[in-house]
């Protein structure tokens, strides 16, 4: 009788350890993935910002057609605001409406 009880306790202990290991692995991988995704997203956003700044600084008159093409190509929305917060340009704005 004692052998079965000890055997059952060992099986339950092994199942518990495996479950804890799996849960820990899932949590650690999710944290690592989200951290990597956040870093990658910020880098991509920074590169988009640098390009938009380059286009705007290229000439005294902003090249909105270039921004339209860039936003359509990269499937992003570009919105430019002046210092007062008024929208100067929005790549998703439809002038026909």
24-73 pLDDT, tens digit per residue, is 999 999 999 999 999 999 999 999 999 999 988 887 777 788 888 999 99
* Higher-pLDDT residue of 8, 63: 8
pLDDT surpassing 80 at residue 82: yes
Residue 93 confidence (pLDDT): 79
The domain of 89 spans 60-97
Angle ∠(83,53,42) on CA atoms, nearest 5? 95
User: 85: phi > 0 → left, psi -120 to 50 → alpha, else beta; which?
Assistant: left
What is the SS3 assignment for 87? strand
Residues 2 and 28 both lie in one domain: yes
Residues 44 and 74 both lie in one domain: no
pTM (global) more than 0.75: no
Residues 30 and 74 both lie in one domain: no
Q: Which of 89, 76, 72 is nearest to 48 (CA)?
A: 76
Q: How many whole angstroms separate alpha carbon 9 and alpha carbon 2?
A: 11
Residue 30 confidence (pLDDT): 98
């Amino acid at each position: 009788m004692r052998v079965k009880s000890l055997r059952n306790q060992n099986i339950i202990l092994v199942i518990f350890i495996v479950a804890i290991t799996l849960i820990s692995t899932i949590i650690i991988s999710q944290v690592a993935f989200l951290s990597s995704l956040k870093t990658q997203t910020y880098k991509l956003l920074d590169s988009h910002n640098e390009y938009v700044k380059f286009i705007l600084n290229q000439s005294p008159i902003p090249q909105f057609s270039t921004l339209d093409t860039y936003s359509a190509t990269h499937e992003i929305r570009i919105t430019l605001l002046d210092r007062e917060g008024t929208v100067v340009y929005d790549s998703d704005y439809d002038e026909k409406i």
